[in-house]
Amino acid sequence: MVESVKESNSSNISNKNIKPIVEYKKVHKSFGDVEVLKGLDLNIFPGEKVALIGPSGSGKTTIIRMLMTLEQPTSGEIIVDGKNLWHMEKNGKLVPASEKHLREVRGDIGMVFQHFNLFPHMTILQNCMTAPVQVQKEDKESAKKRSIEMLEKVGLGDKLDNYPNQLSGGQKQRVAMARALVMRPKIMLFDEVTSALDPELVGEVLEVIRDIAKEGEMAMVLVTHEMDFALEVADRVIFLDDGVIAEEGKPSEVLEESNNERLQQFLYRFRS
């Protein structure tokens, strides 16, 4: 199954000559005795929008958490823009990556979390501009200007001096997206970003993601339960089941035409 999937994977990408920006090579991940990923091979291309779907425990969140360096793979390699993420070369040998190496390689990756994780002791504006100033050593004025622009873009230009706990869940998540975007990542990871929101607030967050996706140049990996949204935004949908890619392809193929039984079962629960 995995082998045939690999072929369809590359056929989905119009230009086979483009180098992937992220490559997972035979990645395994275990938590204690539980193996959540069983040899993942996956390429993500620059600008590509990938939706990861699957039942809980299928390993989809783990995939992006490993890329953000929040979890370490048990074995296998992850290559980001040609550079090995979890290993580095030292005296001609491959050794586990140091914090310095991780910082170098993950600089192009941004992430938005299910529970927002805004910094509660900072205003909305400070939340956005601290990292560009501290991490990327950007000039304070220019970071401020870009942060304000970004917050305006997500519709929160009037909340600059508010603190996170003064915002609704949807507003918090939009700040979190602005905060990640100000860092100008080449790859953005979305970890079930609407799951913690009240149903009536989901729309405003999806709206922002839709806008970001339209701009195009950034690769996006979305772990999501919003099937209609995946259908609309994603270039490719990957269905994970029991630690392996069970089905993948264009959204319409996967979500509407697939005969995979497990996938059908999974989708059934979302279509009332």
Partner 1 sequence: MTINWKWDMFFEAFPFILQGLGVTVGLTFACFLFALIFGFVWVFLRRIKFKPVNWLVTWIMEFIRSTPPLIQLFFIYYAWPMVPGIGVSLTSFESAIIGLGIHFSTYIGEVYRSGIEGVDKGQWEASTALNFSTRQKWTKIILPQAIPPTIPMLGNYLIIMFKEVPLASTIGVVGILSLAETYGTDNFRMLESYTIVALIFLALSYPSAILINKLEKKMNRRFDKKAALQDSKGAVV
**Residues in contact with partner 1 by the rule CB under 8 A:** 68-70, 99, 103, 106-107, 109-111, 113, 115-121, 130-131, 134-135, 162-163, 165-168, 171, 179-180, 183
CB of 229 to partner 1, least distance (A): 22
Instruction: Please say which residue, 38 or 163, places its beta carbon nearer to partner 1.
Output: 163
CB of 124 to partner 1, least distance (A): 12
CA–CA separation, 258 and 88 (whole Å): 40
Instruction: Please say which residue, 45 or 113, places its beta carbon nearer to partner 1.
Output: 113
Instruction: Please say which residue, 60 or 236, places its beta carbon nearer to partner 1.
Output: 60
CB of 259 to partner 1, least distance (A): 38
Token pair of 8, please?
Answer: 């369809």
DSSP string, the chain: -HHHHHHHHHHHSS-TTSPPSEEEEEEEEEETTEEEEEEEEEEE-TT-EEEEE--TTSSHHHHHHHHTTSS--SEEEEEETTEESSEEEETTEEEEPPHHHHHHHHTTEEEE-TT----TTS-HHHHHHHHHHHTS---HHHHHHHHHHHHHHTT-TT-TT--GGGS-HHHHHHHHHHHHHTT--SEEEEESTTTTS-HHHHHHHHHHHHHHHHH-SSEEEEE-S-HHHHHHH-SEEEEEETTEEEEEESHHIIIII---HHHHHHHHTT--
CB of 5 to partner 1, least distance (A): 29
Instruction: Please say which residue, 108 or 248, places its beta carbon nearer to partner 1.
Output: 108
CB of 25 to partner 1, least distance (A): 23
Instruction: Please say which residue, 32 or 120, places its beta carbon nearer to partner 1.
Output: 120
Cβ-contact 53, 227 below 8 angstroms: yes
Instruction: Please say which residue, 130 or 260, places its beta carbon nearer to partner 1.
Output: 130
CB of 227 to partner 1, least distance (A): 26
Instruction: Please say which residue, 74 or 162, places its beta carbon nearer to partner 1.
Output: 162
CB of 193 to partner 1, least distance (A): 13
